[in-house]
Every structure is written in structure tokens, then in C-alpha cells.
A = this chain, B = another copy of it.
Amino acid sequence: MTDYIIAIHGGAGTILKSLMTAEKEKLYKVALQDALDQGIKILRNGGSALDAVVHATSVLEDCPLFNAGKGSVFTHDGGHEMDASVMNGSDLKAGAVAGVRNIKNPVLHAKAVMNHSEHVFLFGAGAEEFARKERIEFESDEYFFEKCRYDQLLEIRDSDQVRLDHSNTKFGTVGAVARDVGGNLAAATSTGGMTNKRYGRVGDSPIIGAGTYANNNTCAVSCTGHGEYFIRSVVAYDVSCLMEYKGMTLQQACDEVVMKKLKNMDGEGGLIAIDKLANCSMVFNSEGMYRGFQDADGRNEIMIYKS
């Protein structure tokens, strides 16, 4: 098979057409299209699924619309703590970072952990020390300053409340999954966390098995949602296990996990997934999910709301 395909997401939540302007919707769609186009170009040229998902995710990190990289929300102390992870399906290698500050592209940082350290998961100041050694690009606080994000913090800073992206209703995460011409799968996920976040909270995005998983024998998965539920449900690996051990199709496995298991425990969110046969599933139990895919046959879809 030579089918290649990439899918991306920009977060799930209460994304309603009634709350969206035509102009804003267009901005989101242009940004998603850009990430898809740059990702598929790598696959078309014979690049690896890993390179495609990492690059597509970095494009979304660079866009201030999404809560990851440049667009990350503010923590309680007025900074940005970002998490990211990446997994390669051919050798089950993985890399992840949590609670890192001033890293321009946390997904590149996670990839460096995978490729240039003997570890899988680094956090905080120690992870940043590794990033400097690896010449990962840092950015100033000004780079990450977005006025609307700062206003979101000021609204609730003096409360104990933590807030999801956009009006307490959107889970801000970006991610990508892909299959390359060689049949290799890969997944990447990146997030800026929750507004007014304290206590070094880590969600599912940097957790291999929860927010990210890839295995050439089954599928590649990137999640977005209420992270605590996704950690407790080991969501990404659960999709893989339902396929490998129970013989479910990709769509059946995604539906079982997102529409049944997560929904039954009020775990809001969704995921994108691609299997070894180049099937693609984009499933969510929330009102909407920024999402899209593009494949070798030229199919190209970008969606925001329930279809």
C-alpha cells in the first residue's frame, strides 16, 4: 500500500456555530488547512509519518488561535506552562515534556527527548535545561503574550477557578496523526493547559497512552478533552487495545472509548485516529472539535461542528 494520510485537531468543546462569526470561522479553517497542507506535503514527498505529525503540530503551535505554543493560555502566576508528546509507531519510541516555559515549539522539544535522550518524559526546569543543550528554540514572554488570553486570566485570577480555553468550554489542545507511504504511523499532541492553572497540573497531552499513542500494528491516536478523565481512562492506548485484542475496527474502537466509556463518566472531549490501513476516525462527544484530514487521493476535509 502506498496510501498516506494525515489528520489534525485544534481542540474540542462547546464550539457552537451560533457563537462563531463567519470571519473567525474562516481564520480557523485557514489555519487548519495550512497545517494539513504542510503535513501532507511531507508525506507526498516520501517523508515519515513522524516528521509529518511533528511539523503539522508545530504549525498549529505557531498559530495564536489555538491553545498550544504561541497561543497558550496563562497560568495563575501569569506565565505559560506547556506540555507535548510524540510517539513513533514503527519502534514504539516516544518523547514527552510537561510544564515547560518559553519553548517556542514544545512538540519539537518532545521529539528531541525521544531522539536525543535516553529518557521518554522530562518536566519543568530540567526539561528546559535539556532543551538548551539541544538548541531547541526559546521565545520571550512577549512572544506568548496574547491580550485576549491575558484578559481571560484577569477575569478569574483571584478565584480558585481554573478555566478551559475560551469561556470555560473548550479544551485547548492541538495534535496530528499520520500514516506514511511506508505504512508507518505516528502521533503528536501539544497544549498550553488551562487558564489560571496552579500546582503544576499536568493533563493527558504529555502522557503516552493517555493523550498520545502510535503503534504500526494498530493505530495512531491524538486526544483533546478534559485531561483528568483521559488519564484515568488511558484513552489513546485503549483504542489500540480494542483493535488489537478485541478485533474492533478503528471506528468501532473510537466510538466505544469516546461515545460510551468516556461519556458514561462525563469525560468530555474527542480524538483523531488513523489505522494501519489508512482509515481515519475523528470522534468527539462535545459540541464541536476543530479537525480535518487530507489523503493521497486528494480528499481534503475541514470541520468544526457536528456533521
Seen from chain A, the residues whose Cβ lies within 8 Å of a Cβ on chain B are 87, 92-94, 98-99, 117-127, 129-130, 162, 198-203, 207-210, 213, 227-228, 231-234, 237-238, 241-242, 245-246, 265
Choose from B99, B120, B246 the contact partner of A124 (Cβ within 8 Å): B99
> By the criterion CB–CB under 8 Å, are B208 and A234 in contact?
yes
How far, in whole Å, are A98 and B98 apart by their CA atoms in the complex?
11
Please, which residues of chain B bring their CB within 8 A of the CB of A94?
231-232
Please, which residues of chain B bring their CB within 8 A of the CB of A124?
99, 123-125, 200
> By the criterion CB–CB under 8 Å, are A231 and B201 in contact?
no
Most buried by B among A117, A121, A245: A121
Main SS of chain A's interface residues? mixed
**Identical chains bound together, number:** 2
> By the criterion CB–CB under 8 Å, are B122 and A202 in contact?
yes
Known: A129-B199, A199-B117. Is A232-B208 also a contact (CB below 8 A)? yes
Choose from B126, B208, B210, B234 the contact partner of A199 (Cβ within 8 Å): B126
> By the criterion CB–CB under 8 Å, are A92 and B201 in contact?
no
In the complex formed, the residue of B with least CB distance to A119 is B201
> By the criterion CB–CB under 8 Å, are A201 and B121 in contact?
yes
In the complex formed, the residue of B with least CB distance to A197 is B126
> By the criterion CB–CB under 8 Å, are B120 and A232 in contact?
yes
Known: A123-B202, A125-B200. Is A208-B231 also a contact (CB below 8 A)? yes
How far, in whole Å, are A43 and B98 apart by their CA atoms in the complex?
37
> By the criterion CB–CB under 8 Å, are A234 and B246 in contact?
no
Please name 11 pairs of A and B residues whose Cβ atoms are closer than 8 Å in the assembled complex, sorted by A.
A87-B232, A92-B265, A119-B201, A119-B228, A122-B200, A124-B124, A207-B209, A208-B210, A208-B231, A237-B237, A238-B241
